[in-house]
Homo-oligomer: A and B are copies of this chain.
Amino acid sequence: MTNIAKVAIVGGTHGNEFSGIYAIRQYQANPALIQRPSFETSTLFANPEAFKANKRYIHSDLNRQFKTADLANPDLTNYEQSRAKVINELLGPKGNAKTDLVIDLHNTTSNMGACLIMTQAGPFYNQLAAYVKMKMPEAIISRDEDHLAAEDHALMCTLGRYGVIVEVGPQSQSVLRQDVLEQMHQMTAHILDFVELYNTQSLPALPKRTEAYLYLHSIKLPMNEKGERLGMVHKNVQDKDYHPIHPGDPIFTLFDGTEVPYDGDRVVYPTFINEAAYYDNNLAMSLNDKIWIELE
């Protein structure tokens, strides 16, 4: 295994997710928080213009601009597409990155607690997941399309040799909650501690099996043929991220009062329930399998 020499902590990829933005300011004011002996840590404020505008993004979602082909496409020229190319220069280039690990800090309006999202698979990620869950049992481990090659992933964190997302909530867009910020700091510190132990081959005994969630697909709000919403997430499901949904459970309430049951044929586990940022695409929630990450 190759050591991790450079870590980048990215905040403000979305301009109205305040935890990461204030977290990196705290890291900049007190660098000891993110320094460890065996590697260098830098910070980056990814989308300052969106923060100034108090919006998720100016022209398009920065966290969807990092496919290798898109980074190389000179016709993609808007603010976030340009910013992605600049960040690719700073931290990448993707596929041969000078940054060994990108930690991208995010918030959700959903009741997801502290969630470690991994978009690639392999021994490094499996050990990281086992360590974080051991140190922070309330943390959630999420595997998000980790069967895809990094080059086909559009997420910022896939720019590094390794990359993860720290996702904390619930927190309204454009709000900073102390409790949620503390969750972010706690999970980020565990990741940095893991890298130090990994580099120095000092990892403690790790659990052989770690509970995780594997992303399956997203489902949309009920809509009519004109694309107008006909209903909302059922109140039984609201805030119940990671709680099982059984076939036939009500998942939507239409505005006329009708309840809509889940029409799948097996138990699934929802995440990003009623996330504000996904309304543009009328996404109601993501559905997941519960799985185990096994260490050899």
Contact = CB atoms under 8 A, between A and B. Distances in A.
A279 B177 CA distance: 13
Contact of A29 (B109, B253, B256): B256
Given A25-B255, A173-B276, A175-B274, 14 more contacts: A22-B255, A29-B255, A172-B172, A173-B174, A174-B276, A176-B232, A176-B274, A177-B233, A177-B235, A178-B233, A178-B234, A178-B238, A178-B253, A179-B235
A276 B179 CA distance: 16
B255 A109 contact: no
A196 to B, nearest CB: 23
B177 A238 contact: yes
18 contacts: A22-B232, A25-B255, A29-B255, A30-B256, A54-B280, A109-B172, A170-B172, A172-B276, A173-B173, A173-B174, A173-B276, A174-B276, A175-B274, A177-B235, A178-B232, A178-B233, A178-B234, A182-B235
Contacts of A170: 172
A179 B238 contact: yes
A29 B29 CA distance: 55
A176 B275 CA distance: 10
A26 interface: yes
A255 B173 contact: no
Q: Which 10 A-B pairs have the closest CB atoms?
A: A172-B172, A178-B235, A109-B172, A174-B276, A175-B276, A179-B235, A176-B232, A172-B276, A173-B173, A26-B255
Given A22-B255, A232-B22, A279 B175 contact: yes
Given A22-B255, A255-B26, A256-B29, A232 B172 contact: no
A184 interface: no
A87 interface: no
Nearest to A23: B255
Contacts of A256: 29-30
Interface of A: 22, 25-26, 29-30, 54, 109, 170, 172-179, 181-182, 232-235, 238, 253, 255-256, 274, 276-277, 279-280
Given A29-B255, A255-B22, A255-B25, A173 B172 contact: yes
Nearest to A233: B178
A174 B279 contact: yes
| Max chain B C-beta neighbours (<10 A), residue from A170, A175, A253 | A175
Contacts of A274: 175-177
B109 A181 contact: no
Nearest to A53: B55
A232 B176 CA distance: 7
A168 to B, nearest CB: 14
A242 to B, nearest CB: 18
A277 B29 CA distance: 27
